[in-house]
Structure 1
Amino acid sequence: MLKRCLPAIALFLLAPAVGELLLGNLAFSQLPLFLPVLAPMYGGGALLIREVTRRAGRGPVTMLILGVAYGLVEEGLADQMLFNHFYAGHDEMGATYIPALGMGGWLTIGVLTMHAVWSTNAGIALVEALFPERAETPWLGRTGLGVTAAIFTLGTAVVMWGSYNDEHFFARPGQLIATVVAIVALVAVAFRVRPRALLDGAAPRPWVVGVVAFAAASLFLNTADLPGWWSVAAATALLVVTVTVTSRWCRRRGWGRGHRLGLAAGAILTYAWVGFGMTPETAAKTTGDYVVNVVLALGSVALIALAARRLHGFRPPLAADEEKAEVRF
């Protein structure tokens, strides 16, 4: 039973580890919050996205869109950071604040991208590479899926309660309604994605994909330091270019699981180095925080290396190694 559920358990723990700990958002003193608070929402959310996608016979494009929806659940409904001008005592919106929406330009683009990529899909891709023989099949039965949904709902409610307790902030009804509508629309779009025609030419090597992903992710996270709306323009341009290039690569001959691992590895290693310079939201950085950074960075490298080795040694059944264009993204 434990062996059967091992991939699901791994993702449940890895998602919050990447989404919060690797980036350095959580202070060393707050580590006790990892399992009771972060794992139910992050881990439950990532696992739910992965399971409903695979059960529907869909692939990574669907997961990516659902990752954006997850970002809206967490940042728009749970902790409501998208609408809180001075979240955790900091002016997170700065010069790109849009008064009519009560939202920040870069903040909205930044946090939704971070959740879609790092909080959900990077962990999913890494765990699927660690268990290649089960990468495209469900890891949970119906009961397990129901329990996961319940855990995610409970985790979201706990974060909402805790955030309100700390911030004493609640978004306007119109903002919350618009967020729910956007979430529903994204979920509907996610399951209407269809495969696109293959393109001529061969896909680049997985390590090239990983290097490009690392460079793009590093540049994206640093666009926040640009002045005013230049940050929004740069972040948007990077997203458009990265999505366009990747969507063309994944429709070329030879694209497969190793390339998807390359994308995840580039993103995860970006968080690993950025985390060393990140100051936790609620406290000054301490020696303990740097120790956590080192341990998690080394652990990330080890997991990526292990996943690459397992993929290299994996031989899929005949006719199962060529994924559909939508799945291959």
Structure 2
Amino acid sequence: MVTAMAISQRLLAIVMLVAMTAILPEMLSGNTTAPVLFRPDAFIFFSFAYGLPILVIREWAIRLGLGKGGVFLAGMAYGLINEGLLAKTIFRESGVPIDLFDHYGFAFGVNFPWALFICVWHALSSVLFPIALAQHFAGPVGALPWLGKWTAFVLAALAVALASVFFLNDETTGARGEPAILASLWATMAVLAFAASRLRATPAFSPSDGLWKPWAFGLAGLPLMIALLLFARFDAPAPVYLAAFAAIAAFWVWFIHRQGWFGQPAFCRVALGWYTQMVGFSWFSMIHRSPVTIAVGVVALALIHWLNLRAERRIAP
């Protein structure tokens, strides 16, 4: 029997995950200013556009027992929802959010280098890291489902329907989407979901000593991201860019695995280092446009660091 306390703990965990998926990727990256993000209409939109599908991914991952690799591939599929169905940026030859990708590697109506870059970024920043942090903060209910099966199914169907309708009808982000492109996007996401379902979790726990090392490794994501941007900046051949991307990704996975950081609490320290470098990266774009966003971002970052320290003390022997 589920107690009232367990229900309240799960509701709090859901609210925490949805809030993090709306705030961390958008504001810490400098993509959306704090005054805009915290407008009621904008926050509701981001909570639905980000929080709803990511909550569904989290429930699906828990029920199937997916590992972090599986959640990452599901996050890639989410990247296609966000940047393919909603924002439609992967179909732009110019006017890409990072203009270094304008006219770079564009073929068959798709900006492939940008699509790979932004989908991997979303898989980490919007899906894998927020889910890991929310589950770590949630305590005893962190490893349990937070929704009933039918509730999760209804929310999944709602997310699919809303994203599809938006893609076919919205013109604020470009031309209306074509049904054939919609079908190809969902087919690609289905392949990613199938691959994700094969990557099950294995028990992992990281010792609590030396936790600043994984934080520093997450912080080192900044030079790696800059290195990839330089390939686009100097118009390197797309195959070279893709090979460099694959090499950097392989190094990341190998190093984290070698250090034993896929377990908690070390993996959350990697996530916190990643978000710290995002704040540093966004400083350059936000310091003149919206200094208040930098201030709010620093406060948000300090808050999740504090929550993480609480969680670490709770599980410490």
TM above 0.5: yes
Indicate the residue corresponding to 1:219 in structure 2.
224
- 1:77 pairs with 2:78: no
**Corresponding residue pairs, total:** 305
Measure the CA separation in 2 of the matches of 1:156 and 1:61. 25
- 1:208 pairs with 2:216: no
Measure the CA separation in 2 of the matches of 1:302 and 1:231. 40
For residues 114-152 of structure 1, the C-alpha deviation after alignment (integer angstroms, 9 at most, x for no partner) is: 110111112111112212322221122234424532553
Contact 1:96 1:104 in 2 (8 A): yes
Indicate the residue corresponding to 2:3 in structure 1.
none
Indicate the residue corresponding to 1:11 in structure 2.
17
Aligned-residue offset at 1:297: 2.1
**What residue ranges of structure 1 are gaps of 5+ in the alignment?**
317-329
- Relative to 1, partners in 2 of residues 1:82 and 1:204: Cα closer, same or farther, differing over 3 Å? farther
Indicate the residue corresponding to 1:311 in structure 2.
312
For residues 58-108 of structure 1, the C-alpha deviation after alignment (integer angstroms, 9 at most, x for no partner) is: 222111110001111222223221112244798663242333x22224311
For residues 1-48 of structure 1, the C-alpha deviation after alignment (integer angstroms, 9 at most, x for no partner) is: 433311111101110111212212124553324333111011112211
Contact 2:96 2:102 in 1 (8 A): no
Measure the CA separation in 2 of the matches of 1:136 and 1:246. 23
Equivalent residue letter for 1:137: L
Equivalent residue letter for 2:67: G
- Within-5 A mapping of 1:141-180: 141-150=148-157, 152-153=159-160, 156-157=163-164, 160=167, 164-171=170-177, 175-180=181-186
For residues 192-215 of structure 1, the C-alpha deviation after alignment (integer angstroms, 9 at most, x for no partner) is: 1256899xxx99943212211211
Equivalent residue letter for 2:110: M
Indicate the residue corresponding to 1:62 in structure 2.
70
Q: Percent identity over the alignment? A: 20
Instruction: Compute the TM-score of the two structures, normalised by the length of structure 2.
Output: 0.81
Measure the CA separation in 2 of the matches of 1:221 and 1:129. 30
Contact 2:11 2:146 in 1 (8 A): yes
RMSD of aligned Cα (Å): 3.4
Indicate the residue corresponding to 1:182 in structure 2.
188
Measure the CA separation in 2 of the matches of 1:18 and 1:203. 25
- Within-5 A mapping of 1:288-327: 289-314=290-315
For residues 139-186 of structure 1, the C-alpha deviation after alignment (integer angstroms, 9 at most, x for no partner) is: 222344245325534653575378x32244145555444322211111
Contact 1:95 1:229 in 2 (8 A): no
Equivalent residue letter for 1:121: L
Contact 1:204 1:249 in 2 (8 A): no
Higher mean C-alpha deviation, range 220-229 or range 241-250: 241-250
The one of 140, 147, 160 equivalent to 1:140 is 147
Measure the CA separation in 1 of the matches of 2:33 and 2:174. 21
Contact 2:92 2:111 in 1 (8 A): no
Indicate the residue corresponding to 1:123 in structure 2.
130
Contact 1:49 1:63 in 2 (8 A): yes
- 1:22 pairs with 2:28: yes
Equivalent residue letter for 1:259: A
- Relative to 1, partners in 2 of residues 1:240 and 1:250: Cα closer, same or farther, differing over 3 Å? same
Find the residue that maps to 1:269 and give its secondary structure: helix
Measure the CA separation in 1 of the matches of 2:293 and 2:217. 27
Measure the CA separation in 2 of the matches of 1:48 and 1:111. 21
**What residue ranges of structure 2 are gaps of 5+ in the alignment?**
1-6
- Within-5 A mapping of 1:246-285: 246-247=253-254, 249-250=256-257, 256-278=263-285
Measure the CA separation in 2 of the matches of 1:34 and 1:72. 21
Measure the CA separation in 1 of the matches of 2:201 and 2:183. 32
- Greater relative contact order structure (CA < 8 Å, 6+ sep): 1
Contact 1:38 1:155 in 2 (8 A): no
- Within-5 A mapping of 1:83-102: 83-87=91-95, 93-99=101-107, 101-102=108-109
Measure the CA separation in 2 of the matches of 1:270 and 1:137. 31
- Relative to 1, partners in 2 of residues 1:315 and 1:208: Cα closer, same or farther, differing over 3 Å? closer
